[in-house]
């Protein structure tokens, strides 16, 4: 395990925390941790705290990427993510398909070594913590899977909203999610049985069917 650089876990629903990583040796030089299709429970704060401390100490000067994808139960990212600031290398965080993720911790603003925050298809995430403005100015924040994709550095948000910087990002995410939900609701009302769109589509279908029969 001393030479461990990449660690992945896929489709293991029984895994609810990263407690087993608390014993990760400093010499492991871990560069990438991928958790896919598990049922992580962020309320086990002590387990997460020990795990992220070990990861922060183990990665040394290497760049490090944390990817949490297709998780079914995770509702928030634990505040112990702050321990990754102990890393001397660059940090990237990818959250993808974590459909129940509702918020990121304020402590994420302590990660001055983070160069990219990539959030994809996390529809329950409706806002970002104001501390996102404390990240390094060159850190790129990317939001995708919404009606409008968004990529911008923290520094690039300054001309629009200097205090706090995250208002620009938050407003864009809120608008995108609202627009998506509104379109879905309107479509449902129009084309549900009994709706105006339903009858119009039904009449058009029957008309074309009669023409074919003729």
Total-model pTM: 0.68
List the structure tokens of 53. 């401390």
Question: What pLDDT digit, counting tens, does each position of 177-209 carry?
Answer: 666 666 666 666 655 666 565 666 667 766 776
Please, which pLDDT band fits residue 77 given cuts at 50, 70 and 90? Answer: very high
What is the mean predicted confidence (pLDDT) over 156-161? Answer: 51
Q: Look at the chain and count its residues.
A: 214
Q: Write the pLDDT tens digit of every residue in 85-139.
A: 877 789 999 999 988 999 899 999 999 899 999 998 888 887 788 888 888 888 8
**Tokens found for residue 134:** 């404390």
């Amino acid at each position: 395990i001393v030479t461990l650089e990449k660690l992945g876990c896929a489709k293991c629903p029984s895994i609810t925390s990263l407690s087993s990583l608390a014993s990760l040796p400093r010499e492991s030089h871990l560069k990438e941790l991928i958790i896919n299709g598990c049922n992580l429970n962020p309320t086990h704060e002590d387990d997460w705290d020990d795990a992220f401390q070990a990861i922060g100490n183990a990665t040394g000067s290497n760049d490090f990427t944390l990817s949490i994808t297709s998780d079914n139960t995770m509702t928030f990212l634990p505040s112990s993510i702050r321990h990754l600031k102990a890393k001397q290398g660059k940090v990237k965080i990818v959250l993808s398909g974590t459909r129940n993720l509702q918020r990121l911790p304020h402590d994420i603003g302590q990660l001055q070594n983070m160069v990219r925050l990539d959030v994809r298809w996390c529809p329950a995430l409706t806002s970002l913590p104001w501390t996102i403005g404390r990240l390094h100015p060159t850190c790129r924040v990317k939001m995708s899977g919404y009606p409008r994709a968004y990529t911008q550095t923290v520094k690039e948000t300054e001309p629009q909203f200097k205090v706090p910087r995250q208002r620009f990002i938050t407003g864009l995410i809120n608008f995108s999610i609202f627009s998506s939900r509104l379109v879905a609701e309107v479509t449902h009302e129009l084309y549900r049985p009994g709706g105006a769109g339903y009858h119009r589509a039904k009449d058009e279908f029957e008309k074309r069917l009669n023409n074919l029969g003729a």
